[in-house]
Amino acid sequence: MINGHTQLTGLLGSPVSHSISPLMHNEAFRLLDLNYVYLCFDVGTKGLKTAIDGLKTLGARGFNCTMPDKNLMCELADRLSPATKLTGAVNTVVNDNGILTGHNTDGIGYIRSLADSGFSVTGKRMVLLGAGGAATAIAAQASLDGLKELSIFSRKSKFWDRAVHLADTLNSQTACHVSLYELSDVSSLRSRLAESDILTNATPVGMAPDTNHCLITDPSMLHPSLMVSDIIYNPRETLLLKTAKEAGCKTCNGLYMLLYQGAEAFKIWTGKDMPVKEIKKLYFQ
């Protein structure tokens, strides 16, 4: 029941109408009998500052940011969480009496989704494909959570300079040893994979509608003790995951990363644990 005490949360970005977040959060509020509502606002970077000032004035409890607003939001927040300082991208904001604190729950969501599959990054070696927004969040959180070695493979294009900076920052501010390689360096990719515990695809390669693509073109690069994870959730099984299964690897798709990044935001706003079991059954099968 919406009344005079209802607290406002929501999503800013463009586009946003396809998002599953309103279903997930509003159902979780209902299940826990919390007087909150979650709405979507189609706002790109051009209108972001005005929208943020408006939400602050209205006393909104908090909001998520998605593309293309994540980086600019980092500049507009009053305070930043440690992962956000490393990534330069915010996907969750909480408003405490007019002070906006920016968080990035994508990385935490990813780590929690791996935990569901019985995998912990602590002390492990990871090969990460991509250096965009999601890859950066995963790299930062995994390094903060005790990953031993991270090998990032990226095309030498728009995210390259940012990836060089990220690798330097993680090497100087965490105990993780981070190296950056060009994606076209197939022999390094092969040798890093041979020594790694987990391969993470954080590029859109393999996502619908282009489902016939995969960055691992030779399945012999994969070994059965490698966990292969793809943060894509449409389709549920990408060509990478199919190839990995055939090579005897354990696999994990991006569906629960989506769920858990939302659950972390929910906790930040309400102080309560999202009833993830029920939400999983309803929207994440």
Nearer to ligand NAP, 231 or 268 (CB): 231
CB of 222 to ligand NAP, least distance (A): 18
Residue 244: CA count within 13 A, CB half-sphere: 24
Nearer to ligand NAP, 96 or 156 (CB): 156
CB of 282 to ligand NAP, least distance (A): 17
CB of 211 to ligand NAP, least distance (A): 12
Nearer to ligand NAP, 65 or 95 (CB): 65
| Cα distance between residue 140 and residue 118, in whole Å | 21
Nearer to ligand NAP, 95 or 231 (CB): 231
| Active-site residue, selected from the candidate residues 46, 49, 56, 70 | 70
Contacts 24+ apart (CB under 8 A), 101-106: 101/77, 102/73, 102/74, 102/77, 103/264, 103/265, 103/268, 104/137, 104/140, 104/141, 105/260, 105/261, 105/262, 105/264, 105/265, 105/268, 106/133, 106/134, 106/137, 106/138, 106/141, 106/257, 106/261
- The first and second tokens of residue 71, run together, are 């980086």
Please indicate whether residue 85 is annotated as part of the active site: no
Q: 200 CB contacts (<8 Å, ≥6 apart)?
A: 110, 126, 127, 128, 129, 135, 138, 229, 230, 231
Nearer to ligand NAP, 135 or 144 (CB): 135
Nearer to ligand NAP, 95 or 151 (CB): 151
**Using H for helix, E for strand and C for coil, what is the string for 18-86?**
CCCHHHHHHHHHHHCCCCEEEEEEECCHHHHHHHHHHHHHHCCCEEEECCCCHHHHHHHCCEECHHHHH
Q: What is the DSSP letter of 220?
A: G
- Which residue minimizes CB distance to ligand NAP? 132
CB of 242 to ligand NAP, least distance (A): 17
The label of the residue with tokens 């250096």 reads: 131
Residues at the site binding ligand NAP, with contacts judged by CB under 6 A:
106, 130-135, 154-155, 157-159, 183, 202-205, 207, 231-233, 254, 257-258, 261
CB of 238 to ligand NAP, least distance (A): 10
CB of 6 to ligand NAP, least distance (A): 27
Q: Would you please indicate which residues are annotated as catalytic (active-site) residues?
A: 70
